[in-house]
């Protein structure tokens, strides 16, 4: 179900302009978390009910001339390995350049769907100029103007045809992904959990292209760990380490039911961590935070609380997530991590019977009804949980259009207080009845 679209191409062709356009529907939400959007090179986009993650490779390119072309080449190779589909962007105003030809050659050899996106086709006269890009030998070309948005609809209509939106039910065990920046302790915790068995379960070299599932079946737990830890060594250009790790993280995240976001207690939570958190939230995954290397922190009786508050403040508004403090090297609370992940998994699967939902929520709504707007009163009649992979609730009422964000938050908080959805994003819909 994981759909990752990478935008590749030379600098200045307009990759980030397209990226912003594709992700802007959600931008209003993302922008609330100030400070984290500027260095964001991936985001969630949606087109005709298909949801996908877009990665803008441009953000990872080095500035110095000598590594630059090598870095782009390597990015293309990584994109071929990791992405579902590739948007290869070129610029109609410059025509085909040597680097375009080189990238095209790499893409022709790869097995992934590639769409040639000819950008800066701002007017009709340029449509005919775009035809030179058929010489790239990658089939159909898609003329767009990232600036005005023209042509992007047709592009997306074609793009989504490459998606596989059927959930792969190869395995019904819970899937937990341990993600986080390099060096936070991901490998260490996996080793602590599975120890010497690791060699048995890690696939042989050559299959590492896909996320590695590790089956954990001990102490009454039975689940799959999605391993992103052993993925650093593959890049040659150091600037691409982050790009590569982001691609793997997104993939692991999309495959997982619960995302275990690990951070280093000494380093604290950084914008990259917050980006991952929001990506998990937008993908409606279960989420928990593990603060590792707790042994390195000098503590008094307030330290934990201060840390927790700081983290919740940074990931707001979705703050109802478990935060566990571990020391993997000192074997502190390692099992607590998987117990908590299991709890989050159960919360995500939870189904509240309609009668119970109404017994609890209707009296609350009666005591705190939605505020009237222009003399109109919204009457909520009943509530049901809709079937889905993550919790969704429909509130049936006479005038759904009059219910506002504030009341949405109120209902969400009341659902959380009464039914325990810790670690799980929930969705509320107001429906006409």
CB of residue 143 to ligand GDP, shortest distance in Å: 10
Binding site per annotation, positions for GTP: 9-16, 56-60, 119-122, 180-187, 227-231, 292-295
Task: Give the per-residue contact string, 49-88, with ligand GDP (x = CB under 6 A; - = no).
Answer: ---------x------------------------------
Task: Give the per-residue contact string, 132-161, with ligand GDP (x = CB under 6 A; - = no).
Answer: -------------xxx--------------
C-beta separation of 82 from 247 below 8 A:
yes
Residue 45 engages ligand GDP in binding (rule: CB under 6 A): no
Q: Which residues 179-208 are close enough to bind ligand GDP by CB under 6 A? A: 180, 182-188
Q: What is the CA radius of gyration of the chain?
A: 24
Q: Which residues 243-262 are close enough to bind ligand GDP by CB under 6 A? A: none
- Contacting range for ligand GDP; rule: CB under 6 A; set: 10-18, 218-226, 309-317, 339-347: 10-18
What is the rounded distance in angstroms from the CA atom of residue 194 to the CA atom of residue 216?
A: 7
Residue 12 engages ligand GDP in binding (rule: CB under 6 A): yes
**Terminus-to-terminus CA distance in the chain, angstroms?**
33
* Rounded (10°) angle between helices 271-282 and 240-255: 30
Nearer to ligand GDP, 1 or 266 (CB): 266
Locate 220 and state its tokens: 């009454």
Locate 113 and state its tokens: 């769907």
Of 102, 197, 295, 346, which lies in the binding site for ligand GDP, with binding defined by CB under 6 A? 295
Locate 168 and state its tokens: 């792969």
Residue 122 engages ligand GDP in binding (rule: CB under 6 A): yes
- Contacting range for ligand GDP; rule: CB under 6 A; set: 5-13, 126-134, 253-261, 362-370: 5-13
Residue 11 engages ligand GDP in binding (rule: CB under 6 A): yes
- CA 37 distance to own-chain centroid: 14
Q: Which residues 273-292 are close enough to bind ligand GDP by CB under 6 A? A: 292
Residue 23 engages ligand GDP in binding (rule: CB under 6 A): no
Query: How many CB atoms are located within 10 Å of the residue 195 CB?
Result: 10
C-alpha neighbours within 13 Å on the C-beta side of residue 212? 23
Please give the size of the binding site for ligand GDP, defined by CB under 6 A.
30
CB of residue 20 to ligand GDP, shortest distance in Å: 8
Residue 21 engages ligand GDP in binding (rule: CB under 6 A): no
Four-point Cα dihedral 195, 196, 200, 206, nearest 10:
80
What is the rounded distance in angstroms from the CA atom of residue 276 to the CA atom of residue 6?
A: 17
Nearer to ligand GDP, 193 or 380 (CB): 193
Task: Give the per-residue contact string, 216-235, with ligand GDP (x = CB under 6 A; - = no).
Answer: -------------x------
What is the rounded distance in angstroms from the CA atom of residue 376 to the CA atom of residue 135?
A: 62
CB of residue 4 to ligand GDP, shortest distance in Å: 18
According to DSSP, the residues that pair with 175 across neighbouring strands are 224
CA neighbor of 114 nearest in space, from 68, 83, 92: 83
CB of residue 161 to ligand GDP, shortest distance in Å: 24
CA neighbor of 161 nearest in space, from 203, 113, 216: 113
Locate 394 and state its tokens: 């429909």
Residue 328 engages ligand GDP in binding (rule: CB under 6 A): yes
C-beta separation of 323 from 289 below 8 A:
yes
Nearer to ligand GDP, 13 or 86 (CB): 13
Of 1, 29, 296, 386, which lies in the binding site for ligand GDP, with binding defined by CB under 6 A? 296
Burial of 66 (0-12, 13-18, 19+ CB in 10 A): exposed
Point out which residues bind ligand GDP (CB under 6 A).
Answer: 11-17, 58, 119-120, 122, 145-147, 180, 182-188, 229, 292-293, 295-296, 327-329
């Amino acid at each position: 179900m994981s759909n990752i679209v990478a935008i590749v191409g030379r600098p200045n062709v307009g990759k980030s302009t397209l990226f912003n356009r594709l992700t802007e529907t959600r931008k209003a939400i993302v922008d609330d978390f100030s400070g984290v959007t500027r260095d964001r090179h991936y985001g969630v986009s949606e087109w005709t009910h298909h949801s996908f993650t877009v990665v803008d490779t441009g953000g990872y390119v080095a500035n110095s001339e000598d590594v630059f072309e090598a870095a782009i080449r390597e990015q293309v190779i990584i994109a071929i390995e990791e992405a579902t589909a590739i948007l290869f962007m070129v610029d109609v105003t410059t025509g085909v350049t040597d680097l375009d030809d080189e990238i095209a050659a790499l893409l022709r050899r790869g097995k992934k769907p590639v769409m040639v996106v000819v950008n800066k086709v701002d007017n009709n006269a340029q449509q005919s100029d775009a035809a030179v890009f058929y010489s790239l030998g990658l089939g159909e070309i898609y003329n767009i103007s990232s600036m005005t948005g023209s042509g992007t609809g047709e592009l997306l209509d074609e793009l989504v045809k490459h998606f596989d939106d059927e959930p792969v039910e190869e395995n019904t065990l819970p899937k937990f992904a341990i993600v986080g920046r390099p060096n936070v302790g991901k490998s260490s915790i996996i080793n602590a959990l599975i120890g010497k068995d690791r060699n048995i379960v890690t696939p042989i070299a050559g299959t590492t292209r896909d996320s590695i599932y590790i089956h954990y079946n001990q102490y009454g737990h039975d689940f799959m760990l999605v391993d992103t830890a052993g993925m650093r060594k593959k890049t040659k250009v150091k600037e691409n380490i982050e790009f590569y790790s982001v691609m793997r993280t997104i993939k692991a995240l999309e495959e997982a039911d619960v995302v275990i976001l690990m951070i280093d207690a000494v380093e604290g939570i950084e914008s990259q961590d917050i980006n991952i958190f929001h990506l998990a939230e937008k993908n409606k995954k279960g989420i928990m935070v593990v603060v590792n290397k707790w042994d390195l922190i000098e503590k008094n009786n307030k330290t934990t609380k201060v840390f927790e508050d700081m983290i919740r403040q940074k990931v707001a508004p979705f703050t109802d997530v478990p935060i566990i403090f571990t020391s993997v090297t000192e074997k502190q609370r390692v099992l607590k991590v998987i117990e908590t992940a299991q709890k989050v998994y159960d919360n995500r699967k939870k189904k509240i019977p309609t009668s119970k939902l109404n017994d609890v929520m209707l009296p609350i709504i009666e005591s705190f009804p939605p505020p009237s707007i222009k003399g109109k009163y919204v009457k909520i009649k009943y509530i049901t949980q809709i079937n889905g992979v993550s919790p969704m609730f429909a509130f049936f009422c006479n005038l759904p259009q009059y219910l506002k964000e504030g009341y949405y938050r109120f209902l969400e908080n009341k659902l959380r207080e009464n039914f325990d959805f810790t670690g799980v994003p929930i969705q509320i819909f107001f429906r006409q009845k």
